[in-house]
Structure 1
């Protein structure tokens, strides 16, 4: 059975997508509260709470086939201040690179590395940060490519993310997993521009990964909601009116269309926060009734907690989304143990990676890259050279 390390593990959502085909050797996060959630769900045997940059060789057991790193996105997000990889949070990527160098020096470098982050990683600092990530992987001895995948293919949440997948240059590369000279299904226009802008020395190690188009999700937002009565109270009429007053013109029209239909409509309402170009921020509410929630964020992120909006004729009600509902939108089962405090639960979920997307990547790309697939017997194999 292949092994993996999970860096920036949070509540172990990458692990939720990788297991049972993979076995976790090591998990790391700097946040003790997230570590408590991880331990509640996975145990603490493999977990180490520490700054990734402080890890030593003795902290990293065995030899993993895969190092998964969903490194912090705050400085790369469109809602952030634009610090990029120089920022205090997204700059933790360099600590991860240090850990990989430690492993390489001991001939224990993982065969595969997966980096997951927001789409802003492609455009941060005019593409310089993306090129810096690629240069770091090249310097560690890897070839690399990327895919853009939206969790909306699997779940009722719009959550586009970039997955940079790197393979050790010394390992065989199955030709059928690479698209020759052309992008695959999972290549947004922004990714194609970022790849085209790489300097020749980095472009020489660039790969367009070939993975099938995932199926469209068969779940809708309403399928992930708690039944009545709900632990989260409905807003007063005044609170709902304040939210509706902040809607963008397009969203106001959508609400009016929902009312005019005469049918019960369930939607998601969220507030976007973006720099206003004058040193401040602007906030605008948006609602959608397409069966999807907007991208879940941490409570302190660029978008606050999401609301539910229910329109039934002349009656419109709103309330905050519950932590359990948010967890379902990330593909976590109801048996997953969430922190008791709602704020901690939303930090955990909003910072995570959607488990079904991880599972798709594992089955369709990562396992085949190491010579396994889900249909085969994933029995223990001989240690690779």
Structure 2
């Protein structure tokens, strides 16, 4: 499948673009964050990117007619680690950061008024979107899509199907009413692992009109991951250094009895053991205390945007009595996100993980594209109109779409 087009909102470093691949052409991208926008320009060029608040973007800024609008809108107010403010409402007075979703729906509505609504929409966010405000946030998203004239469904897709990182995310896939969904892409009832209980409960909370637009997407069999965390961790990392022996000793001294037991078991394993190490503030009989916690599972925890020393991802490597610790390197973080080796991250450690922590697992996007997006049938009329449509050009974007024979 080649020749489809897309808009990329909340584009970050362009990981949706990486996952969609060369068969999909980006017409427009937008992000407000200067660090992520700079990473986008470094890897994809500046010609398609508009920096700034999505609230300032209008349909007139968007060229052509896109087959897909991708929106990984902010998760801060929906995640378990966030503040629980949710989506807010479609008014400036009560809008949250995650509520920038409303600016996206306004753009789609403007495109529809201009006869240019995208054939498909993908919304991506944390699983907390399903439970926020007792499910009302998800119901609000569904109702907004239905009001825009779309049928929609969702799957929960974890990056650990592809890379050794636990990173479950909700992907809502919506299709304009004229789009044909092949029978093999849908089922009549939820199926595992794509529709876990938390999603089923969220769907049960939809109002009747919205529920009538629901699709149980079926991307087929889940892939089997072939790599483990130990495969991605280098003995000679770039961008970070191994801790000195006394620094590692301090971390070991911060471990609870349970974590010390894990460390002893790793020493007795008789082979190279690679694990994750995190600093966590825990309640103890003597008050709250900073603890070092380790896990030698083959899958790392979810990468996050670092907001301080405690949130930085660390690794521990044990070979017999030898114990080494250090920060996870940006290069290794890129591998955990499935980024291509030639993807260029910011040179500063914190900035690199700012791009990674808020990013998309590239193989998850590629899976969604291959199993669903490439196979949704948009009528020939839609394809023909996409080639001929003119648009209102607003600087610095906009050259007329080339005419096709």
1:343 to 344, 347, 350: 350
Instruction: State the alpha-carbon separation in 2 of the partners of residues 206 and 273 from structure 1.
Output: 42
Question: Counterpart of 2:311 in 1: which secondary structure?
Answer: coil
CA RMSD of aligned residues (A): 2.4
How high is the TM-score relative to the length of structure 1? 0.90
Change (3 A) 1:102 1:253: farther
Instruction: State the alpha-carbon separation in 2 of the partners of residues 365 and 283 from structure 1.
Output: 45
Q: Which residue of structure 1 lines up, in the alignment, with residue 44 of structure 2? A: 42
Q: Which residue of structure 2 lines up, in the alignment, with residue 176 of structure 1? A: 184
Instruction: Please say if residues 230 and 273 of structure 2, whose CA atoms lie closer than 8 Å, have aligned partners that are also in contact.
Output: no
Alignment of 1:228-377 (within 5 A): 228=236, 230-247=238-255, 250-271=258-279, 285-300=292-307, 304-370=311-377
Higher CA-based Rg: 2
Q: Which residue of structure 1 lines up, in the alignment, with residue 162 of structure 2? A: 154
Instruction: State the alpha-carbon separation in 1 of the partners of residues 100 and 324 from structure 2.
Output: 41
Q: Which residue of structure 1 lines up, in the alignment, with residue 25 of structure 2? A: 23
Instruction: State the alpha-carbon separation in 2 of the partners of residues 288 and 244 from structure 1.
Output: 13
Q: Which residue of structure 2 lines up, in the alignment, with residue 197 of structure 1? A: 205
Question: Counterpart of 1:85 in 2: which secondary structure?
Answer: coil
Q: Which residue of structure 2 lines up, in the alignment, with residue 164 of structure 1? A: 172
1:7 to 6, 9, 19: 9
Q: Which residue of structure 1 lines up, in the alignment, with residue 68 of structure 2? A: 66
Instruction: State the alpha-carbon separation in 2 of the partners of residues 64 and 302 from structure 1.
Output: 42
Q: Which residue of structure 1 lines up, in the alignment, with residue 97 of structure 2? A: 89
Report how far residue 170 of structure 1 moved.
2.8
Instruction: State the alpha-carbon separation in 2 of the partners of residues 26 and 100 from structure 1.
Output: 14
Structure 2 gap ranges (5+) = 89-94, 390-405
Structure 1 gap ranges (5+) = 373-379
1:107 to 115, 118, 142: 115
| Structure 1 segments (4+ residues) deviating >6 Å | none
Question: Counterpart of 2:384 in 1: which secondary structure?
Answer: coil
Instruction: Please say if residues 111 and 171 of structure 1, whose CA atoms lie closer than 8 Å, have aligned partners that are also in contact.
Output: yes
Per mean C-alpha deviation after superposition, the further-off stretch among 326-335 and 174-183 is 174-183
